[in-house]
Amino acid sequence: MSTTSLRSGTASQDTPPRTRRWAARHFHGIGYVLAILLVGANMPTALYGVYRADFGFSPVTQTLIFAVYAAALVPALFLFGPLSDRVGRRPVLVTALGAGLVGAVVLAAADATAWLVVGRILQGVSVGACSAAGAAALLDHVPGRDTVRAARAASASTAAGAALGPLLAGAVAEYLPHSTVLPYVLFAAALVPGAVALAALPKTTEPSHRGAAPGSRRRLVEVPRLPRDIRSVFVLATLPAAIAWATVGLFQSVVPSWIAELLGMSNLLVGAAAAALVMGCSVLSQLGMRGIDPLVAQRVGLGVMFGGTVGLFVVDRFPSLPLLFAVTVAVGLGHGWAFAGGMQRVGAAVAARAPETSGAVLAAFFTVTYIGLGVPAIVAGLLVTYQGTSTAVAEFSVAAAVLCLIALVLNMIRRSESAGAARE
């Protein structure tokens, strides 16, 4: 982050109203870009049933298609998060927008499974580039240097995109023609306002190698390094966020087909609605976090998710639609509090202690959370193939419940240290 951006971000009773209005527009524009790229990346969740029917691949192949998305996303975070600290946020976000557009074109034109793999790789690159750089850009441009608001906007935009993507694609695929083309056409059209927002974005970081020894050269791809002062709060805040995404990953990968089995229905919108409901509840819980200590929010979120995962195990044994609805809502609310609380704690710590590394630190945060999303979802897909959907849901529910309890205990034991780190 440049000195210029730090000066311009300090609160500003003296800042002219027109400047404040433009700062707010930039902030909201970045949030829109982050959300819309997540919409596109989550559209295939609702379309896998169509792809399986068209291309005849197995559940294992579907799991591998998801795996390549995650495999592309993590290296992209390693590359573009630290890179945005050096060359600026806008070039990285433009790259993310371009990768998302090309990925959508490839998926819309796909006539074989191999093209689905290529499209998902491009979407992984897009999300990896936009996640850390977008969250850091929100920190750069948030009016009044309100780090809590910036973190809340980043987490809510991510969750909103994950909610709208499968819902939109499922509705279009079920009720409109060209089910595997039209969703991506709509997504491409929605990228236009994002491109306009990025074009208007001022440069906040000058290309440089600040912090490097004279004459030294940085590698293109770097594993993000955490400043020593924030490592403790980073670990304690990121663990619940990763568990939250792991639980949501089950709803995006296995639960839709599981619900179809319970209901005896093949409607694409039904499965997509479950994934959308859990993320919609996540957005609502995040929007209601104003004034709540982020550590308290994470503790509450872990407790609620524990109840939700136990409830999911019960639904697997004793199917009940009302209970399934309650479980979905509980998991979504818990995800929102655990994820947004983690983002706020990490964002506040890095802003207070090492703002020049915000892109790298947020890249590390998203790396851990997306590993939490990807690896369990892949494991769940393999369990479905070899043990059946019901067994996979039961085993995953128990594992998630245990992890929620472990993370809750850790954050209760280290409460004072974490709370202090988050507020400094």
The enclosing domain of 62 has a CATH number of 1.20.1250.20
- Give the model confidence (pLDDT) of 194-224 as tens digits: 999 999 888 754 444 444 444 445 555 556 6
Q: Is residue 402 within 8 Å of 245, Cβ to Cβ? A: no
| Cβ atoms within 10 Å of 17's Cβ, excluding its own | 7
Determine, yes or no, domain membership for 414: yes
Structure tokens at 50: 């169509």
| Cβ atoms within 10 Å of 229's Cβ, excluding its own | 15
Determine, yes or no, domain membership for 378: yes
How many Cα atoms occupy the beta-carbon half-sphere of 422 within 13 Å? 28
Determine, yes or no, domain membership for 51: yes
Handedness of CA 69, 71, 75, 77 (dihedral sign): positive
Determine, yes or no, domain membership for 214: no
Q: For helices 44-55 and 147-175, what crossing angle results, to 10°?
A: 30
Determine, yes or no, domain membership for 359: yes
Determine, yes or no, domain membership for 134: yes
Q: For the chain, which ranges sit under pLDDT 50? A: 1-13, 205-216, 416-424
Q: Is residue 246 within 8 Å of 403, Cβ to Cβ? A: yes
Determine, yes or no, domain membership for 216: no
- Percentage of the chain with pLDDT > 70? 85
Domain count along the chain: 1
Task: Please give the pLDDT value at position 254.
Answer: 75
Token pair 């969740």 in the structure block, residue: 45
What own/partner pairs with CB < 8 Å and gap ≥ 24 does 403-409 have?
A: 403/243, 403/246, 404/243, 404/302, 404/303, 404/305, 404/306, 404/309, 405/302, 405/306, 407/239, 407/240, 407/243, 407/302, 408/240, 408/299, 408/302, 408/303, 408/306
Name, in order, each residue with C-beta under 8 angstroms of 62's C-beta and a sequence gap of 6 or more. Answer: 48, 51, 52, 381
Task: Please give the pLDDT value at position 390.
Answer: 83
Domain that holds residue 302: 18-206+227-423
- Give the model confidence (pLDDT) of 49-68 as tens digits: 889 888 888 777 887 888 88
The residue count for the chain? 424
Task: Please give the pLDDT value at position 192.
Answer: 96
Determine, yes or no, domain membership for 294: yes
Q: Is the pTM of this model over 0.85?
A: no
